[in-house]
Amino acid sequence: MKIAVDAMGGDFAPQNVIGGVKMALVAYPAITRLFLVGDEARVKAEVQSQRLPSAKLEIVHAPEVVEMGESAAKAVRRKKHSSINVATDLVKSGDAEAVVSAGHTGAAVTAATLKLRNLPGVERAGIASPLPNEHGVCNLIDAGANLDRRPIQLLQYGIMGSVYARHVGGVKNPRVGLMSVGTEDDKGTDFTKEVFALLKASHLNFIGNIEGHDLFESPVDVVVCDGFVGNVVLKSCEATAKAMFKWLKHEIKSTPIRTLGALLSKGAFKAVKNRSSYEAYGGSPLLGTNGVCIIAHGSSSALAMKNALRVAAESIQHRVNPHIEEEIARSLAAP
């Protein structure tokens, strides 16, 4: 298994990227070749400093980096030798089977879309973002790869999300829900009602409209929405969790007794933080492009990067893309 990693992507690159690679090489022996793409001198120094075994590594020089504030489309077109472009090129050329990046999400999506193209029949690729819930993980798709919205795109998100939940998540018959403003069948906008009809007519295990609380409480495996809604929901959920912890910390620190109490129950806070953290999930697959592309969180730790590499390896191993191709063809052939 050959994976290209954007060594310069993320707030703590290349340090955390290399740290994650080190852990992944030990944990996932199926990874036989790992391309570290970025500024050669900096990557080499980090590899040496963290003492990575060199057998499976190959450093590929890329002198440019797409910065977080840049326009994705412009940066991908102009910075030909940026780490995300060079890493994606390795997938295009067949040298690697997957690309992993914690850098500029828009740039990673644009590079993958332009260079790898979509799988046959796929209108738009979508990011499937894992959200922990009471029953395991719910995949929110699209989390912001595509700001267009046509009903068929959301049907295809449902199909691709299902394939991913089944083959990587190990869910037998993934339940697909449609994000809406009420659970009754007739709730929603004209747009979501059209999507509802498509999902209902499909071969998917469609459970109908879902609302915010279903994200965490219902046994739903795939939640479909357009990229604008998905991105806003995801960031709002993340922000709420962060605010809750911050406010709790502030309140706890306001008296010595509360501080003592919190010390005793520290393990509980840690457990919930771990459970709700993206670290454990590591990466969100961009589903629909002809080559595996995993988007990691910008502030990824080494552990998060390790898990993003796991997601890449599992996507290759379980042949997510061939399965998507098959299911999309089946859906397009349906009467």
What does the angle CA 204 – CA 209 – CA 212 come to, to the nearest 5 degrees? 120
> Rule CB under 8 A: is residue 330 a binding residue for a second copy?
no
Q: Is 242 in the site for a second copy (CB under 8 A)?
A: yes
Q: Is 231 in the site for a second copy (CB under 8 A)?
A: yes
Among positive and negative, which fits the CA dihedral 60, 64, 69, 75? Answer: negative
Distance CA 165, CA 176 (A): 10
Choice between 144 and 291, CB closer to a second copy: 144
Please tell me whether residue 123 binds a second copy under the rule CB under 8 A: no
Is residue 179 part of the contact set for a second copy (CB under 8 A)? yes
Which of 184, 200, 203, 332 forms a contact with a second copy (CB under 8 A)?
184
Looking at beta carbons only, is 70 or 95 nearer to a second copy?
Answer: 70
Minimum distance of a second copy from residue 143's CB (angstroms):
10
State the Cα–Cα distance between residues 203 and 84, nearest whole angstrom.
36
Can you tell me which of 272, 298, 303, 317 binds a second copy, judged by CB under 8 A?
272
Q: Which is nearer to a second copy, 27 or 241 (CB)?
A: 241
Minimum CB separation of residue 243 from a second copy in Å reads 4
- Indicate whether 147 belongs to the interface with a second copy (CB under 8 A): yes
Of 78, 200, 203, 266, the one binding a second copy by CB under 8 A: 266
- In the complex with a second copy, the residue whose CB is nearer, 1 or 272, is 272
User: CA 187, 191, 197, 203 torsion: positive or negative?
Assistant: negative
Nearer to a second copy, 41 or 260 (CB): 260
3-state DSSP percent of the chain in helix, strand and coil, to 5: 50, 20, 30
**Binders of a second copy among 191-230, rule CB under 8 A?**
192, 211-217, 225, 227-229
Q: Nearer to a second copy by C-beta: 44 or 193?
A: 193
Smallest distance from a second copy to CB 241, Å: 6
Q: Please, which residue, 14 or 144, has the CB nearer to a second copy?
A: 144
Q: State the Cα–Cα distance between residues 85 and 133, nearest whole angstrom.
A: 34
Tell whether residue 163 is a contact of a second copy (CB under 8 A). no
Taking CA atoms, 120 is separated from 123, 156, 164, 327, in Å, by 9, 12, 17, 11
- Phi, psi of 332, rounded to the nearest 5 degrees: -75, -25
Quick check: 177 binds a second copy (CB under 8 A)? no
In DSSP notation, 143-166 reads: SSS-----HHHHHHHHHHHHHHHH
Q: Per CB under 8 A, does 235 bind a second copy?
A: yes
Distance between CA 33 and CA 36 in Å, rounded? 10
- Reply yes or no: is the peptide bond before residue 14 cis, omega within 30 of 0: yes
Dihedral of the alpha carbons of 274, 228, 78, 305, in degrees to the nearest 10 = 10
Please work out the total of residues on this chain that contact a second copy, with binding judged by CB under 8 A: 63
- The CA-CA-CA angle for residues 37, 53, 84, to 5°, reads 10
Question: Which residues touch 36 (CB under 8 Å, ≥6 apart)?
Answer: 5, 7, 14, 17, 18, 21, 43, 47, 57, 58, 59, 60
Residues 60-79 that bind a second copy (CB under 8 A): 69, 71
Residues near a second copy (CB under 8 A): 69, 71, 133-134, 144, 147, 179-181, 184, 186, 188-189, 192, 211-217, 225, 227-229, 231-245, 247-248, 251-252, 254-255, 257-269, 271-272, 275-276
